[in-house]
Amino acid sequence: SVPSQASSDGFLQCLSAAIPNELLYTQSSPLFTPVLVSSVRNPRLFTNTTVKPLVIVTPTNASHVQSAVVCGRRHDVRIRVRSGGHDYEGLSYRSERPEVFAVVDLNKMRSVRVNPSAGTASIDSGATLGEVYYAVSKASTQLAFAAGLCPTIGVGGFLSGGGFGMLLRKYGAAIDSVLDATLVDAEGRLLDKKAMGRDVFWAIRGGGGESFGIVLSWKVKLVPVPPTVTMFKVAKTVAEGAVDILTKWQVVAPALPEDLFIRVVVQSSAAEFQSMYLGTCDALLPLMGSRFPELGLNRTHCNEMTWIQSVPYIYLGSTATVEDILNRTTSDGLRKATSDYVRQPIPKDGWLKIFDFLAQPTAGIMIVDPYGGKISAFPESATPFPHRAGVLFNIQYMNFWSAATDGSAQIKWLKDFYTFMTPYVSSNPRQAYVNYRDLDLGQNVVVGNITTYESAKVWGEKYYKDNFKRLAFAKGKVDPNNYFRNEQSIPPLVARK
Ligand code: FDA
């Protein structure tokens, strides 16, 4: 139900009574738009017609978040929560359909407390990955956080969806390291792991943002890294044998020793192999020589550095400094993405056709991350993130356009490419990664003020496979009235007694 003006006014009064006014930005505030756009990365998701929040709440402590939820429940105004704002469909700050809602933006709750002797860190959801990496490296040069490549991603959304990066083969997805968390539920209660119970603690570790409440902080296990890691980027064109090398890569990369991770960015007529090895160039060269000689790696390709130096190197370029990973203000251009998982090697002929697609004038790119190793060692039911044993690699398809066009040709290319890939990728269900959210995979239908299970199953089984139903029961336990919801939130199922 869309709340009336009266309930919106009541909501704002309720907020004002509980939260300092300088932490509230209503639509009439001159800072409303600057605060709202501060972490919008993709201009496609913020236009004149975007359905914007009634108010942005920027809490500085848990009680503010609890009050926002209590006020929202009382006055029937929904809340969307934002950490880093990187959601691929902008669901943390906009609604696809008309809706009166508030945004709780956690950008002022971003402390990172590292305990090097215990090898753990307590991290607020509003911190960026870059801030976490930086704090960990200052506390210990032997520890790392196994998370994503882009340093401006928010911890809140990242961990809500699983989260993976260069250390995934050695240490698994980021949620595999979560030890505890604090959650504000739909009743406004502040719950830790014990208080939220087994099912909800399971659900928040990968079951998608927004569905179960607002996660304020996470306790994670840090992972050991050696003093030297070796990075390389090697590009091969089709003329230089990219097709054969990729055909080999897809079976070799998921089976290599866990210390070696080689992803590929495939674009136009070239494949760039980007790698991190947890060790020295001296140790890497014989390994590559025996397992993957086709890439022709030699000493000139090796860049030895510390783990923390590898973070700006891989994402921001070789001239970026470690301090650059603290910069929260970068933004991307217009884009749209979707994802797949591959379980059977793609035949050489398939790779040839992929390059034909990538050669089209409106083509985008394909980023492939190998699995295997630790990420594949957990059972599919260990966490909601189900992409485990049997997955060879994840594909992210992405296309970009300039403001001079409406992007329809680029989006059509993306859809055509996704259709073309059908025979080569996972099926029944066709798997997808929730953190590369795509609303074209399906959107919720709300009937009687509750999201229907059937509508959500369409996209839900792609992101979660058989874990989807268990997530719906966890939702039924913690939020049976479906207060926390968006276009792809988990619907509540309530167990019959
Ligand atoms: P944002 O704040 O937009 O939230 C995302 C979703 O989670 C929303 O539905 C939101 O409501 C919800 N949410 C946010 N905070 C919450 C909280 N505290 N409690 C409950 N729900 C919450 N992924 C990856 O695994 N590896 C990678 O290397 C990359 N790289 C990458 C690069 C770039 C440039 C982008 C834009 C994205 C990625 N991603 C990625 C995907 C990324 O992991 C994904 O978009 C995350 O959801 C982003 O989290 P944010 O907190 O930034 O998003």
462 in a domain, yes or no? no
Q: Which residue has the tokens 């792991």?
A: 193
Confidence of residue 497 (pLDDT cuts 50, 70, 90): low
Give the residue among 203, 257, 130, 169 at the shortest CA–CA distance from 383. 203
471 in a domain, yes or no? no
Residue nearest to atom 35 of ligand 1 (CA): 86
Residue nearest to atom 33 of ligand 1 (CA): 150
2 pLDDT higher than 70: no
Tell whether pTM > 0.95.
Answer: yes
**Same-domain pairing of 51 and 140:** no
Residue 436 alpha carbon, nearest atom of ligand 1: 41
- Summarised one tens digit per residue, pLDDT across range 348-391 is 999 999 999 999 999 999 999 999 999 999 999 999 999 999 99
312 in a domain, yes or no? no
- The per-residue pLDDT for 45 is 94
CA of 123 to the centre of ligand 1 (A): 15
103 in a domain, yes or no? yes
Which spans in 124-241 are helix H? 129-139, 155-161, 168-171, 193-196, 198-204
**Same-domain pairing of 382 and 293:** yes
Residue 153 alpha carbon, nearest atom of ligand 1: 52
Going by their DSSP bridges, the two strands 365-370 and 223-224 should be labelled as: unpaired
377 in a domain, yes or no? yes
Query: What is the maximum alpha-carbon separation in the chain?
Result: 71
CA distance 408 to 140: 48
**Range of lowest pLDDT (35-44, 156-165, 269-278, 392-401):** 35-44
Cβ within 8 Å of residue 60, ≥6 positions away: 23, 108, 109
Confidence of residue 495 (pLDDT cuts 50, 70, 90): confident
**Same-domain pairing of 31 and 62:** yes
CATH number, domain of 235, equals: 3.40.462.20
Residue 87 alpha carbon, nearest atom of ligand 1: 3
Query: Among the three residues 107, 129, 146, which one is the final residue of a domain in this structure?
Result: 107
**Range of lowest pLDDT (7-11, 279-283, 288-292, 347-351):** 7-11
Query: Among the three residues 62, 87, 107, which one is the final residue of a domain in this structure?
Result: 107
**Same-domain pairing of 361 and 270:** yes
Residue nearest to atom 30 of ligand 1 (CA): 150
Query: Among the three residues 107, 129, 149, which one is the final residue of a domain in this structure?
Result: 107
Could you tell me the two tokens for 107?
A: 């950008």
- State mean pLDDT over 259-270: 98
**Range of lowest pLDDT (1-5, 12-16, 145-149):** 1-5
What does the radius of gyration of the chain's CA atoms come to, in whole angstroms? 22
**In the chain, how many domains are there?**
3
CA of 86 to the centre of ligand 1 (A): 5
- Our CA angle for 375, 491, 94, nearest 5°, is 85
Residues having CB within 6 Å of any atom of ligand 1: 41, 80-88, 91-92, 106, 125, 148-150, 153-154, 156-158, 160-161, 163-165, 209-210, 214-215, 332, 435, 486
CATH number, domain of 148, equals: 3.30.465.10
450 pLDDT higher than 70: yes
**Same-domain pairing of 154 and 86:** no
Percent with pLDDT over 70 in the chain: 99
Domain of 276, in residue numbers: 228-305+332-432
Across all residues in the chain, what is the average pLDDT? 97
Whether the upstream peptide bond of residue 429 has omega within 30° of 0, thus cis, is yes
483 in a domain, yes or no? no
**Same-domain pairing of 187 and 240:** no
Q: Which residue has the tokens 């966890």?
A: 474
Give the residue among 309, 326, 327 at the shortest CA–CA distance from 318. 309
**Same-domain pairing of 15 and 126:** no
Cα 466 from chain centre = 20
**Same-domain pairing of 342 and 410:** yes
**Same-domain pairing of 201 and 336:** no
- State mean pLDDT over 223-242: 98
End-to-end CA distance of the chain: 29
CATH number, domain of 65, equals: 3.30.43.10
CA of 153 to the centre of ligand 1 (A): 6
Residues 75/14, Cβ–Cβ less than 8 Å: yes
**Same-domain pairing of 87 and 201:** no
487 in a domain, yes or no? no
238 in a domain, yes or no? yes
CA of 155 to the centre of ligand 1 (A): 7
Confidence of residue 496 (pLDDT cuts 50, 70, 90): confident
**Same-domain pairing of 424 and 296:** yes
Residues 192/186, Cβ–Cβ less than 8 Å: no
**Same-domain pairing of 68 and 202:** no
- Summarised one tens digit per residue, pLDDT across range 291-338 is 999 999 999 999 999 999 999 999 999 999 999 999 988 678 999 999
CA distance 297 to 408: 40
Phi/psi at 284 (nearest 5 deg)? -70, -40
1 pLDDT higher than 60: no
Confidence of residue 5 (pLDDT cuts 50, 70, 90): confident
373: left (phi over 0), alpha (psi -120 to 50) or beta: left
